[in-house]
Structure 1
């Protein structure tokens, strides 16, 4: 059965999806998925302390709005000019580098009783498909511990610290540890038919969500399908030299076994010129080490997912969403209806 991407096929009949992560990777995936289901919840990390988000966090005492804002833009059903406005960054003055969307969310935070309420209000303004939730309302920092024992606190400091230490990240943690999860986030995970981790920065966008109290436990306890979406490239200052299995082992180290049952990876090559440019930044096409993935007890699916537009190797939203939905359909458990007929869950909500 082929999935339609029209509004009429979506309505409220698509699968319940909980997409967990942050940054550009998560928002890119959401742009494609919103065409297949309205029952979509993005659960977003709030550990960012750099850039415009970091400025607002320090000066106004709010949770970092950047990753949440990007997801809002991806799910918005507004005129193109509104989406452009949300992403507009002021080129000079005291607001230089700050995005209008971040400022809008900061203003709503001032009007609302909590950051969670501000996000809900912005969702209403933008008529988004689904929901966007911060994983926690707690004010947290990210700490990285390297294999040589060195430590650094603050997401924005991890890149330079890793370059100085010249060794891999052993693990990351939140300060304070195990902050309380947003109840709605845990509910969305527990009710989901499909749980997606990534794509996005492994240690600074995906894993921080697993360190919030109850998130990893709720994922493991869920009977939903659990996919990890591999990045297209390794990331300078975070995952140089990593393979797909290295990413999965890091996920299991932080969230324990059972956190993922399928790994979705890109198998399309990137143009030589683009590969050469990434090589100058100590980044390369992510290598898929199939035997190690199989040894972890995790299924592997490979699809051409690459978009090389704009001079970057990133996921194509349409190709990624199509692959996710096709895998979900193929792996859906069959349900016996008592009439000598088996139907799939997918057919049930079509």
Structure 2
């Protein structure tokens, strides 16, 4: 960052992704008083989000809901109500969260998801900005290593095959995919752009494969940071090291665009690996320092683990501290390193 900016304003940090890991980082960045913009995936088609998407041909609200809560400053009881999920025996409302229903209702009122999210952000006293990556639901497509293909975010990991490449399209097919309002300016004006943590092929890449978002991430003057996942994910990243995750990102956009990798080197206890050996996680992601150094000029490695009764997560406070420090201390355009070496 330019030295004249240091200590004169909050760093502008744009965070791109979805899933359960993203809110942890956003909440910690909010508490550090960063100027945060969250750009949230809209390709989800499973669970409550998928059901509402199908019924209303609407942008899936689940990831947006979790991000709004992470950045909100409303009382905890109100957050709990917003996050309440109806039980399976509740028939028509089975599996739906109140927050998802509110987002869908507000989108119907306002006529689009962008205005709905901005209204709810104001009502929920959100500290920062929340933008859907696109203003209509996107369809995720995957090509596997054997050349076969699959469509649908929830279906892609179920094949048991290694994913080679993903792309997104509008539901209408031939209509061009475009980023939501203010997303590109948020990326271009940021001091730092953060990717993840989150599912590589189904939470992070769906955003980057929106052409103008991918272009902006490659062209922004901001440093681009990738937060490596702690655990592999069944149907997506079995056997991939932290360096492999970066290779996949760079392959998809056709160049090395990530400047900084934040990667965990803390050892996940065996009992947590056993606990997480289900439909979501398998093993700890291997750390490949040499491979990382071939992909990015700066690597930040530490024990970033937070062990909870629900499983293994990033220590949001510790990761946010590294992001915040790097936003102030590193020079912009680290990517020029690769142009000169």
TM-score by length of 2: 0.89
Question: After the TM superposition, which residues 199-348 of structure 1 pair with which residues of structure 2 at under 5 Å, given as runs?
Answer: 199-279=197-277, 283-332=282-331
Cα distance in 2 for residues equivalent to 1:108 and 1:146: 38
Q: Is the 8 A contact 2:60 2:137 kept in 1?
A: no
* 2:162 maps to 1:168: yes
CA RMSD in angstroms comes to: 1.9
Question: After the TM superposition, which residues 70-89 of structure 1 pair with which residues of structure 2 at under 5 Å, given as runs?
Answer: 70-89=66-85
Report SS of the residue matched to 1:149.
coil
Look up the match of 1:48.
44
Superposition deviation, residue 310 in structure 1 = 2.0
Cα distance in 2 for residues equivalent to 1:292 and 1:255: 18
Look up the match of 2:339.
none
1:44-67 deviations in whole A, cap 9, x for unaligned?
Answer: 110001100011111122110000
Q: Is the 8 A contact 1:14 1:36 kept in 2?
A: no
Distance 1:30 1:317, change over 3 A: same
Cα distance in 2 for residues equivalent to 1:183 and 1:121: 15
* 2:59 maps to 1:63: yes
Question: After the TM superposition, which residues 81-230 of structure 1 pair with which residues of structure 2 at under 5 Å, given as runs?
Answer: 81-91=77-87, 92-161=90-159, 163=160, 167-176=161-170, 179-230=177-228
Report SS of the residue matched to 1:156.
coil
Superposition deviation, residue 279 in structure 1 = 4.7
Report SS of the residue matched to 1:172.
strand
Superposition deviation, residue 275 in structure 1 = 2.1
Distance 1:110 1:328, change over 3 A: same
Superposition deviation, residue 296 in structure 1 = 2.2
2:15 to 11, 14, 19: 19
Tell which deviates more after alignment, 290-299 or 98-107.
290-299
Cα distance in 2 for residues equivalent to 1:255 and 1:276: 35
Cα distance in 2 for residues equivalent to 1:111 and 1:104: 10
Q: Is the 8 A contact 1:17 1:39 kept in 2?
A: yes
Count of aligned pairs = 320
Cα distance in 2 for residues equivalent to 1:296 and 1:247: 10
Cα distance in 2 for residues equivalent to 1:143 and 1:192: 29
Tell which deviates more after alignment, 172-181 or 235-244.
172-181
TM-score by length of 1: 0.87
Cα distance in 2 for residues equivalent to 1:310 and 1:45: 27
1:76-121 deviations in whole A, cap 9, x for unaligned?
Answer: 0010001111111011221011001101101111110211000101
Report SS of the residue matched to 1:142.
strand
Cα distance in 1 for residues equivalent to 2:295 and 2:316: 28
Report SS of the residue matched to 2:86.
coil
Superposition deviation, residue 326 in structure 1 = 2.2
Q: Which runs of 5+ in 2 are unaligned?
A: 1-6, 333-341
Q: Which runs of 5+ in 1 are unaligned?
A: 1-10, 334-350
Cα distance in 1 for residues equivalent to 2:277 and 2:105: 41
Distance 1:140 1:77, change over 3 A: same
Tell which deviates more after alignment, 178-187 or 233-242.
178-187
Cα distance in 1 for residues equivalent to 2:319 and 2:296: 23
Distance 1:297 1:30, change over 3 A: closer
Superposition deviation, residue 138 in structure 1 = 2.9
1:182-213 deviations in whole A, cap 9, x for unaligned?
Answer: 23000100000010001000000000101112
